[in-house]
Structure 1
Amino acid sequence: MGLLPLNYRRPDYVSDDAFGRNDSIAQSEEKVAESLSSGRSGAPLGIPDALAFDKIINSGTCPPCTVRDFMNYLIYIEHAAENLQFFLWYRDYVKRFDAAPESETVLSPEWTPTMEEEAVAQIQKDAADKARKNPSAIMEIFKGTDFEKTPESNVENRNPFSTPPRSSGGDNASFSGSPATTYISQPGDVLHAAGVKAPFTIQPFRMEINRVITTYIVDDSPRQLNLSAREQKAVVRALSYTTHPSALHTIFQNIENTLRRQAHPNFIRWVICNGNPARVTFARGLGVGSILVALIGSIILTLSQAGRGWRALFAILWVFGIATLITAVKGMCVVLHGLHHRHVRPWELFVDDNSTDIDELCNGKRSFDSFGSSNSYEDEPWVIKYQRRFYVRRVFDREVWIQEPALRQIQDTIFLQSMLMAFLGAGVLTAIFVAVPAGNFF
């Protein structure tokens, strides 16, 4: 594959504030539809078609850009794997529901936008009535809106190989007070808390939908989605009426929008880095050190009686130092890039080579199981082992070949950009020192 344009820029980091999760559903659907029609991921500039969101989800990419790598990124870096887990489950559920006999699916009518609007209006009316009767409960109205802000940690500033504690899965909603295990054994309690009647148990996939509620919707559930109180109540009302996929359409659109426009660009930005933090820090130090040596040497020769031509020899160090520093700032090591290698992730380091379950090796659980355990990983053996690993050993951690051609193309382009900037900077600095008259001090 050839290089990308020389004005290429890797994807910008998309923070929660910049993303604007509360876009309307119409806006989200329009952006997703535009993405699908163009065949691109809908992400910002910097993501080639070969690494588009749909390509990754449909297993059209190679390591380290596969859907499994995307899942591990969401588990260990963004701590939002429940979004992708729900997304994959819903796509499969739609296919299975459509393939079910019509004699069964007729029992689950479609949840229409009009019904959605009526449910939301009723929820808002109930909240307003409750606030009038109990003024101290007025803050319940603002749960899940821009008026209820909680500090968010910046994923961009996180160490790509660090293991920070997992954050909460969502904001407080209306079903608090009971652990998720209670809901699993008694799903009717969830519906009662939402003020709706128990659904018909003869509807198709009713047991599976109950598991969805107790796994992704209610408070303290193993994989609680980041839903506001209003969204939570609305989806429970919809699911109490029908098991039709349209009942989950609203939150699915929000989650898909988050994955496409925030998680996916951030994943591509992160995966471009080929070295772990220890190696990148070492590369930065090497780049700065080379620049300082070239600077000090040029100054000494300028002040001496040595000929001007000797000062031009430091252009080699200028080029090496500037190129190494620029690539390190972008998370890359020039030595690893020259081999088209990357460092193995910490969760991939300490695995049993005799095991056949790669997913279980990487994150200690079946992360692609739609109804598995929570995505917490603090008790996995590799966490302590990696923390005890010596710094120098981390610098020279195990390396693997980068199989994805599009990723190598991006890294080649960044390296070429760095070299061009290094040659330009070295040329300017060398010209300046060569032009200065000799000091003849010694």
Structure 2
Amino acid sequence: MMGFLSTLKYRRPAYVNKKQFLSSRQESESSDASLKSGQLGSSSGIPEALTFDRIISGGTCPPCTVRDFMNYLLYIEHSAENLQFFLWYRDYTKRFDEADTLDAKLSPEWTQAMEDESTVKIRKDAVEKMRREPKAVSIFKGTDFEKGAVDVVIENGDPFLTPPSTPNTKIAPSLLSGSQASSYRSQSRDAFSAASATQPFTIQPFRAEIDRVIATYIAEDAPRQLNLSSREQKGVIQALAYTTHPSAFRTIARSIEATLRRQAHPNFIRWTICNGNPARVTFALSLGVGTILSATAGAIVLTLSSAARGWRALFAIGWVLGIATLIAARKGMCVVLHGLHHRQVRPWELFFDSATSLCDESESEPELGGQRGSRDAKGNNNNNNSFDSFGSDSNSYEDEPWVVRYERRGLLRKVFDREVWIREPALRRIQDVIFVQALLGALVGAGLLTGVFVSLPAGRFF
């Protein structure tokens, strides 16, 4: 009984605002336990079966797989670069540790002491820059920000830039064309110069791949630039000028992982609980409100008439249906879809991304496919382009064919878009709990309304 009651107290993971999280990330990272679990105190609505580690390791079913997580970051949160870099870094660390070559000794570990020394140097350079530019100091003079002026100069990067997708880590850097390798090397050299770092030894292991990482994720105006502050950016470039050891990424890797675990992951679970698209949820909200108003109008008419009071209790059925539909829709769920344990397909899953499939929808019903490749009979996406670790393009998708086609789709058609089975048991259990909560809330609300109307004396106006 206690277990049932505790289940009914379930609350979806609270929405974590990206900007607020980034501004307070350093404070939130003080709790190592929450980082490992993939949860925040405010995101306790994530069951053990849907933790960050479980999703990344491939232990979940659609729509909660790492592919679905990547699509969410790409199309909804616009921060796919974080997961792309995280997956690359994890793979790179494994490959570096397994590399049994003599040149590995040329890339020693970047220790914490070295990192602290680099941070001090960056701060000193910022102070010198302010001294050379007295106008910058005068802006803060006499204000509460005077003491923090150095930090303002250091943290002058835009923390909300949105980077693109990742290249394929299975493609060895040595297989790059000469012009590509030269371009990445040139961009990385520019980054080292901008950070006042010494140009590195090119004979270090994985140096070509590191040049590509810098050009893709770290350099200014990189196509998939990570949300790094100026201090973080300069710090990692200083480290990479010294070594290609994975420890050179220690600070930013920890920062990116914290963002994924504590901000993106809870929001992804919250979003996945919704089984309908915005048009369907809006339709469900309208239907719930309309049902409640209709039942109430009917009860008012009977109250004003000379009919027996007992007939007014019949409208409790309408109130239960309307309130339950309204409560569920407020949480992004359609009760009809839930009854079937279905969800509507996402817009990017509706169309192929190949020339042969871009046919008129009136000619043939498009298969259920992903924007970056089709899905097989089991619903798995067969294309891994969004998991590429490197690329010269950004993660933008506005020019993809499905965007225009979906915008042209009629409102009624969006409301009744195709549905697929929800295969993840943990997600179905969460939706079951939310439905029961909505039903109990409806019973209470309908009971109160029924009691009020039944207790009123008949108006006998007709």
Q: Which moved more, 1:83-92 or 1:355-364?
A: 355-364
Q: Which residue identity lines up with residue 242 of structure 1 in the other structure?
A: T
1:227 corresponds to = 228
2:342 corresponds to = 341
Q: List per-residue Cα deviations over 1:226-267 (Å, max 9, x = no partner).
A: 111111111100000001111001000000000000000000
State the identity as a percent.
Answer: 61
SS of 2:423 mapped into structure 1: coil
1:175 corresponds to = none
Contact persistence 1:347–1:363 (CA under 8 A): no
Distance change (3 Å), C-alpha of 1:144 and 1:72: farther
1:176 corresponds to = none
SS of 1:202 mapped into structure 2: coil
Q: List per-residue Cα deviations over 1:258-278 (Å, max 9, x = no partner).
A: 000000000000010000111
Deviation at 1:114, TM superposition (A): 1.1
Deviation at 1:18, TM superposition (A): 4.2
Give 2:152's match in structure 1, choosing from 142, 162, 183: 142
Alignment of 1:83-232 (within 5 A): 83-101=82-100, 103-136=102-135, 142-143=152-153, 145=155, 168-169=162-163, 184-186=184-186, 187-232=188-233
Contact persistence 1:53–1:260 (CA under 8 A): yes
TM-score normalised by L of structure 2: 0.83
Determine whether 1:368 maps to 2:387. yes
SS of 2:343 mapped into structure 1: strand
2:312 corresponds to = 311
SS of 2:420 mapped into structure 1: strand
Distance change (3 Å), C-alpha of 1:33 and 1:299: closer
Distance change (3 Å), C-alpha of 1:75 and 1:418: same
Deviation at 1:149, TM superposition (A): 8.1
Deviation at 1:59, TM superposition (A): 0.5
Distance change (3 Å), C-alpha of 1:144 and 1:124: closer
Q: Which moved more, 1:278-287 or 1:180-189?
A: 180-189
Determine whether 1:42 maps to 2:46. no
Contact persistence 1:32–1:42 (CA under 8 A): no
Contact persistence 1:327–1:334 (CA under 8 A): yes
Contact persistence 2:351–2:368 (CA under 8 A): no
- What is the rounded CA distance, in whole Å, between the counterparts of 2:369 and 2:402 in structure 1? 18
Deviation at 1:198, TM superposition (A): 1.3
Give 1:382's match in structure 2, choosing from 402, 405, 413: 402
- What is the rounded CA distance, in whole Å, between the counterparts of 1:136 and 1:343 in structure 2? 57
- What is the rounded CA distance, in whole Å, between the counterparts of 2:369 and 2:458 in structure 1? 68
- What is the rounded CA distance, in whole Å, between the counterparts of 2:368 and 2:44 in structure 1? 39
Q: List per-residue Cα deviations over 1:198-233 (Å, max 9, x = no partner).
A: 111111111111111110001111110011111111
Q: List per-residue Cα deviations over 1:260-319 (Å, max 9, x = no partner).
A: 000000000001000011111111111000000111110110110001111010000000
Contact persistence 1:280–1:332 (CA under 8 A): yes
1:287 corresponds to = 288
Deviation at 1:360, TM superposition (A): 3.6
Determine whether 1:425 maps to 2:445. yes
- What is the rounded CA distance, in whole Å, between the counterparts of 2:247 and 2:33 in structure 1? 17
Contact persistence 1:144–1:229 (CA under 8 A): yes
1:69 corresponds to = 68
Contact persistence 1:363–1:380 (CA under 8 A): no
- What is the rounded CA distance, in whole Å, between the counterparts of 1:415 and 1:283 in structure 2? 14
Contact persistence 1:291–1:321 (CA under 8 A): yes
Q: Which residue identity lines up with residue 116 of structure 2 in the other structure?
A: E
- What is the rounded CA distance, in whole Å, between the counterparts of 1:336 and 1:13 in structure 2? 23
Contact persistence 1:169–1:223 (CA under 8 A): yes
2:425 corresponds to = 405
- What is the rounded CA distance, in whole Å, between the counterparts of 1:181 and 1:355 in structure 2? 38
- What is the rounded CA distance, in whole Å, between the counterparts of 1:402 and 1:228 in structure 2? 40
- What is the rounded CA distance, in whole Å, between the counterparts of 1:269 and 1:91 in structure 2? 26
Distance change (3 Å), C-alpha of 1:240 and 1:45: same
Q: Which residue identity lines up with residue 111 of structure 1 in the other structure?
A: W
- For the aligned residue pairs, the C-alpha RMSD in angstroms reads 2.7
Q: Which residue identity lines up with residue 80 of structure 2 in the other structure?
A: A
Deviation at 1:105, TM superposition (A): 2.0
Alignment of 1:3-18 (within 5 A): 5-18=7-20
- What is the rounded CA distance, in whole Å, between the counterparts of 2:382 and 2:18 in structure 1? 25
Distance change (3 Å), C-alpha of 1:277 and 1:144: farther
- What is the rounded CA distance, in whole Å, between the counterparts of 2:382 and 2:398 in structure 1? 10
- What is the rounded CA distance, in whole Å, between the counterparts of 1:169 and 1:387 in structure 2? 24
Distance change (3 Å), C-alpha of 1:183 and 1:228: farther
1:173 corresponds to = none
Aligned residues: 411
Distance change (3 Å), C-alpha of 1:354 and 1:292: closer
- What is the rounded CA distance, in whole Å, between the counterparts of 2:384 and 2:60 in structure 1? 23
Large movers: runs of 4+ above 3 Å? 20-25, 30-36, 136-141, 147-150, 167-170, 180-183, 352-365
TM-score normalised by L of structure 1: 0.87
2:146 corresponds to = none
Return 5+ residue gaps in structure 2 as ranges: 138-148, 165-179, 358-365, 375-380
SS of 1:47 mapped into structure 2: coil
Distance change (3 Å), C-alpha of 1:356 and 1:419: closer
1:31 corresponds to = 31
Contact persistence 2:38–2:53 (CA under 8 A): yes
Contact persistence 1:363–1:377 (CA under 8 A): no
Return 5+ residue gaps in structure 1 as ranges: 153-166, 171-179
Q: Which residue identity lines up with residue 342 of structure 1 in the other structure?
A: R
